[in-house]
Amino acid sequence: MIKNFGLDGKAAVVTGAASGLSQAIAIGFASAGADLVIADINVEGLHDTAKSIRALGQRAEVCPCDISDSVAVQKLFERLDEVFGHIDILLNGPFAFNREKPEALTLEDWNDAIGVCLTGFFLCAQQAGRRMIEQGAGGSIISIGSIAGASALGRGNFVYSVAKAGVHQLTRELAVEWAGHGIRVNALLPAQMRSPSVKKWLEDPATAPDLVAHLLKGIPLNRLGEPEDIVGPAIFLASDAAAFVTGTLLPVDGGNLALNAGGSHTW
């Protein structure tokens, strides 16, 4: 049974792989035996990720890509075709976080966030899905959602939360639409993780102590997540061990979504 958790011989595309959660997952996929095409707009970060993947003895093809651009996404998957000739796994990871109150949000910022966080996920899933259908061997599509798409966070998270809720429904719909092709579609729902972007947010000495304490009130495991915390769940969903798992929104949140808004894990 343990062999089912391996990814030996599988080809994966990981977007957003230059840093944070997607970078950790890309390296995790490689540690489980996968070869990868990695994409991001941060080229320097991509090469860092590729170096880590190659150090594990796996192949890594670097492909700069803005996933909100349909032409760029098409070129990304054409590169996949050239390098590997097939796809077994897609991990949708990038995000655009335009933090603003709804009444002040510009249409440009709305479109930017939706373009990366939702439209880009659709474009990549569509390209991967077409290839998986043609191959006839199924596959696994995983998107990084968020607890923000499951319940409202406030604090200016408006468009990000709306986009992530869209990712969750995209996941369910594609899981149903493509089930007949053996394509499994799932999403991971992290809580606050110590990714590079969150670390910058938490390093403000004026707000960090109070902010961390506030966030921990909603996390029963009483700590923020680390990028490594999402790697195991991602490998599971990508692997044959999850062969009967599709349409699932898997929280990786330290118990956040299990906690009632009026509840407490300290008493």
Burial status of residue 216 (CB atoms within 10 A of its CB: 0-12, 13-18, 19 or more):
middle
Burial status of residue 181 (CB atoms within 10 A of its CB: 0-12, 13-18, 19 or more):
middle
CB 195, CB 227: distance < 8 Å? yes
**Beta bridge pairs of residue 249:** 187
CB 41, CB 112: distance < 8 Å? no
Which stretch of DSSP H or E encloses residue 190? strand 183-190
Three-state SS for 217?
coil
Q: Is 60 a catalytic residue?
A: no
Tokens of 31: 């540690």
From 84, 160, 178, 236, active-site residue: 160
For residues 121-156, one letter each, b for 16 or more C-beta atoms within 10 angstroms of the residue's C-beta and e for the rest, the string is bbbbbebbbebbbebeebbbbbbbbbbbbbeebeeb
Give the C-alpha distances (Å, rounded to integers) separating 242 from 1, 21, 60, 235, 254: 11, 20, 24, 9, 21
**Beta bridge pairs of residue 114:** none
Q: Which residues are catalytic?
A: 160
